[in-house]
Structure 1
Amino acid sequence: MRSKVGLVDLVTRYIIRQKGKKIRPLLVLLSSKLAGGINERSYRGAVLVELLHTATLIHDDVVDNADKRRGLWSINKVFKNKVAVLMGDYLLSRGLMIAVDGKDFDFLGVITNAVKRMSEGELLQIQKTRKLDIDEETYFKVISDKTASLIETCCTIGAMASTQNPELIEALRKYGHSLGMSFQIRDDILDYEGTSSITGKPVGGDIREKKITLPLIYSLNKVSKKEIDSIKKLIKSKNDSVAVKEIISFVKKQNGIEYAYNISRKFAEDAKNALTVFTDSQTKLALESLVDFVTERKN
């Protein structure tokens, strides 16, 4: 990540202070180990996805006008939007150059498709947020592209680093997709039932941003048009905390959280089932345990 430009190094050092869980590079390494064994390509793949992920987080904070990231002030808050956007571009290009220098051209097709899907998913969500007309099919499309695509990419690249067996690569791709779907649905549930001191994010944050997620989509499908219009009016209100509480109460009353949790668990089971082609090992157990962690997590 080093550069001859002093500002780049300054921002980089600040980014490194933001300690994340590093789940995505771990997924690359675990997938690689399960599919055949960790090698130099596995490490390059892990670095590539972490740089891409970090770049997308920096850009997301600009898009969302976010003030904080992982407990610290966001890059856009400290260094302003122009630096944040350019820094995100820099990290993405550094990741791609690592793949080019290592002649990992097969990685490039997978990673660029993920970037395309992530951008499309974000734009589709913005389009639907403006109209407040998102349905379940569109919601699954959004989270598949926005979140699951990168986790799917991690597992695919990890597998590709250590095997050419299409069955094993596809099994880990499916695992990553299902894990990503379960992860995002759980994240959306936490917006309704989480505790801000644990999650680090305000409860009802999605509602304030007018994002309609699975618990609310299901709940709206159960009531009359008059009630739907009433809830949408509350969503459009100016960040009113009373309105947010009313919407959360409405979702709980309609069992929207329970419904979303069941869908999350179904994707979790799909993720575990995708691993049945592999023999039992500590690595397989670790990937299965990660599914349980994602489904039950509180932050």
Structure 2
Amino acid sequence: MGEISPLANMKFTKSVLQEELQAFSTYFDTSLKGKSALLDRITSYLLENKGKQMRPIFVLLGARMAGSVTDRTYRAALLVELLHIASLVHDDLVDDSMERRGKYSVNALWKNRSAVYTGDYIFAHSLVLSLSNGDHRILEIYTEAIRQMSELELLQMVKNKKIQYDEQAYYDLIKGKTASFLAAACSAGAASVTDDESVIARMHTFGEKLGMAFQVKDDLLDYTQQDIGKPTGNDIKEQKITLPLIYTLHNCDARTKTYLLNIVKHHNTKSDKVKELINIVEANGGMRYAEDKMHAFRDESLAVLQTFPPSEVRDCLEEMVAFTIGRAY
């Protein structure tokens, strides 16, 4: 395929997976039919706003790297997307968020109780889907990712009571919260078509490294001062210290460090102060450092791909890596 632009937009991947994505779309659109009229209204509303569906794409590509897509692959792709949707419904509830992807959240439209039960139903429905089809290895992969994610969420709640800026703790957090789920998608795809644990493990490592790069990119986007179609500076407003600021706090003078921490603790909701903090972070090399770390994780993920033979599917995964790093939102 040749060199892939850092602004790759998944067009090549979607052309290669055209048939599989069409089949998955049909599978997905009929996946949540229930006996409750209210539940059907809510789930239909959720399915209207699918997003980029990157996780199912990684499941399909993981399967293609190890063999050919099967019904088990489609179930693995459906499972990761349903688990993701359930987590978003619960996240909006916990955060008291009124919007999701530019539309009203479930709790905004149908109140908190309906949001709780909807998230629970989608989660349980996902597990039944796997168990009833004997997809035990795939379920094992996903439940381990959920365990890590939940454990890290609880750990973050405890740590948020005190401002933390340890770089290794940051990596541990994003590995459990973000990278674990992308790693699960890639390895579950492989596990849907092969029992070769070495292949499954390599796809897991690829997804984990890319997931780390993905989250660092997300944290960088939160520091941008350009219009990216969504609010920025939210991490500071929520007193979340991510890699650009972590580096700055460890590499600036004592007076600047005290000033930055004061903004995070006491002025984190003031737009002018948040903007000033972002300017200081950029001036002190925090953005550049985070970009270098993001590229290092990217390179590690690409190195894993190089252990597989050249193929159209490997080119697709390289495009997905480029898209993850080059995206502007």
- Confirm or deny a common fold (TM above 0.5): yes
Query: Which is bigger in relative contact order (C-alpha 8 A, separation at least 6)?
Result: 2
CA separation in 2, counterparts of 1:194 and 1:159? 39
Residue identity opposite 2:182 in structure 1: I
Match of 1:73 in 2: 104
The 5-angstrom pairing of residues 157-168 of structure 1 reads 157-168=188-199
Match of 1:286 in 2: 316
Q: 2:83 is matched with which residue: 34, 45, 52?
A: 52
CA separation in 2, counterparts of 1:277 and 1:223? 40
Other structure's SS at 1:235 match:
helix
Other structure's SS at 2:161 match:
helix
Residue identity opposite 2:237 in structure 1: R
The 1:126/1:201 distance shift into structure 2, 3 A limit, reads farther
Deviation at 1:194, TM superposition (A): 5.3
> Is 1:175 the equivalent of 2:217?
no
CA separation in 1, counterparts of 2:165 and 2:244? 12
Match of 1:146 in 2: 177
Alignment: residue pair count: 297
Match of 1:210 in 2: 239
Match of 1:224 in 2: 253
Match of 2:135 in 1: 104
Other structure's SS at 1:195 match:
coil
CA separation in 2, counterparts of 1:87 and 1:194? 36
CA separation in 2, counterparts of 1:131 and 1:96? 36
- Give the percent of matched residue pairs that are identical in Structure 1 and Structure 2: 40
Deviation at 1:180, TM superposition (A): 0.4
Residue identity opposite 1:211 in structure 2: K
Cα displacement string for residues 134-159 of structure 1 (whole angstroms, at most 9, x for unaligned residues):
31111111111111111000011001
Deviation at 1:11, TM superposition (A): 0.6
Residue identity opposite 1:215 in structure 2: P
Match of 1:130 in 2: 161
Match of 2:276 in 1: 246
Deviation at 1:6, TM superposition (A): 1.5
TM-score by length of 2: 0.87
> Is 1:261 the equivalent of 2:291?
yes
The structure whose residues are more often helix, as a share, is 1
Residue identity opposite 1:27 in structure 2: F
Match of 2:65 in 1: 34
Are the counterparts in 2 of residues 76 and 84 from structure 1 also a CA contact under 8 Å? yes
Are the counterparts in 1 of residues 238 and 268 from structure 2 also a CA contact under 8 Å? no
Match of 2:11 in 1: none
Match of 1:270 in 2: 300
Residue identity opposite 1:282 in structure 2: E
The 1:43/1:210 distance shift into structure 2, 3 A limit, reads same
The 1:124/1:202 distance shift into structure 2, 3 A limit, reads same
Residue identity opposite 1:191 in structure 2: D
Residue identity opposite 1:17 in structure 2: E
CA separation in 1, counterparts of 2:240 and 2:210? 22
Query: Which blocks of at least 5 consecutive residues in structure 1 are unaligned?
Result: none
Cα displacement string for residues 165-218 of structure 1 (whole angstroms, at most 9, x for unaligned residues):
12211110111001100000000000001534x3x3211011111111000000
Match of 2:218 in 1: 187
Residue identity opposite 2:245 in structure 1: L
CA separation in 2, counterparts of 1:19 and 1:150? 17
Between 1:220-229 and 1:177-186, the stretch displaced more is: 220-229
Deviation at 1:7, TM superposition (A): 1.3
CA separation in 2, counterparts of 1:235 and 1:195? 21
TM-score by length of 1: 0.96
Cα displacement string for residues 27-48 of structure 1 (whole angstroms, at most 9, x for unaligned residues):
0011001111111110110000
CA separation in 1, counterparts of 2:294 and 2:133? 37
Following TM superposition, where does structure 1 have runs of at least 4 consecutive aligned residues deviating by more than 3 angstroms? none
Match of 2:92 in 1: 61
Other structure's SS at 2:251 match:
coil
Residue identity opposite 1:295 in structure 2: I
CA separation in 2, counterparts of 1:295 and 1:238? 28
Other structure's SS at 1:2 match:
coil
Taking only aligned residues, the RMSD between alpha carbons, in angstroms, comes to 1.3
Are the counterparts in 1 of residues 55 and 80 from structure 2 also a CA contact under 8 Å? yes
Are the counterparts in 2 of residues 153 and 176 from structure 1 also a CA contact under 8 Å? yes
Match of 2:326 in 1: 296
The 1:195/1:120 distance shift into structure 2, 3 A limit, reads farther
CA separation in 2, counterparts of 1:296 and 1:285? 16
